[in-house]
């Protein structure tokens, strides 16, 4: 069995800035050996789902704005930097950046956490369209949607750590 500290070091960043999820999964005996991407994803998501609403809100708030201030200043995690760059969010025109900024501000004001979407396989137009649609959601729907997107992001990050497996 992998030691707890090593497990948290390897998988504590799967949920953005939330190593407590990996810690709890390990402590609750959810980790099976040999480690497989799908089982690991399920174990971590189970901890996320059973966390309090405030804890899940903390995970949502740990995510950066898309094409926001942290991206501009180079302060994103390596995973977020790569994910946003893969979707072309590091190459926005001034008009596109202004639209993202306006939507980020509106979304944060309305929901209290940043807009979250698994950007892999999406282009900036796909993301912008989803952003514009979801900013009209009610708070309950958007909280559930954001949580589902966080789990999808976690799955993609785990899959990247286990080449040839899907989470």
> Using 50, 70 and 90 to split pLDDT, how confident is the model at 74?
low
Residue in the structure block whose two tokens are 């799967």: 14
What tens digit of pLDDT does each residue of 127-167 get? 999 999 999 999 999 999 999 999 999 999 999 999 888 87
Cβ neighbors of 1 (< 8 A, separation 6 or more) are: 31, 33
Between the CA of residue 77 and those of 73, 83, 90, 142, what are the distances in Å?
12, 10, 14, 24
- Counts of helices then strands in the chain (DSSP H, E): 9, 0
> Is 31 strand, coil or helix?
coil
Taking only Cα atoms into account, the Rg of the chain, rounded to an integer number of angstroms, comes to 16
Mind listing the pLDDT tens digit for each residue in 75-94? 557 777 677 777 787 788 88
Q: Would residue 63 show up in a list of annotated catalytic residues for this protein?
A: yes
Which residues lie below 8 Å from residue 47, measured CB to CB, with a gap of 6+? 21, 24, 25, 28, 30
Asked whether residue 66 carries a pLDDT value surpassing 50, the answer given is: yes
81 Cβ contact partners less than 8 Å away, ≥ 6 residues apart: 71, 74
Given 17, 28, 41, 63, the catalytic residue: 63
């Amino acid at each position: 069995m992998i030691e707890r500290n090593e497990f948290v070091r390897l998988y504590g960043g799967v949920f953005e800035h939330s190593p407590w999820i990996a810690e709890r999964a390990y402590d609750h005996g959810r980790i099976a050996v040999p480690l497989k991407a799908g089982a690991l994803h399920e174990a971590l998501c189970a901890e996320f789902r059973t966390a309090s609403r405030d804890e899940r809100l903390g995970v949502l708030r740990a995510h950066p704005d898309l094409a926001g201030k942290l991206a501009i200043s180079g302060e994103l995690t390596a995973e977020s930097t790569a994910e946003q760059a893969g979707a072309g969010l590091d190459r926005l025109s001034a008009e596109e950046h202004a639209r993202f900024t306006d939507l980020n501000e509106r979304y944060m004001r309305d929901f209290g956490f940043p807009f979250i979407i698994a950007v892999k396989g999406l282009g900036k137009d796909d993301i912008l369209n989803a952003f514009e649609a979801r900013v009209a959601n009610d708070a309950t729907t958007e909280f559930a949607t954001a949580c589902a997107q966080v789990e999808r992001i976690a799955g993609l990050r785990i899959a990247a750590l286990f080449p040839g497996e899907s989470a």
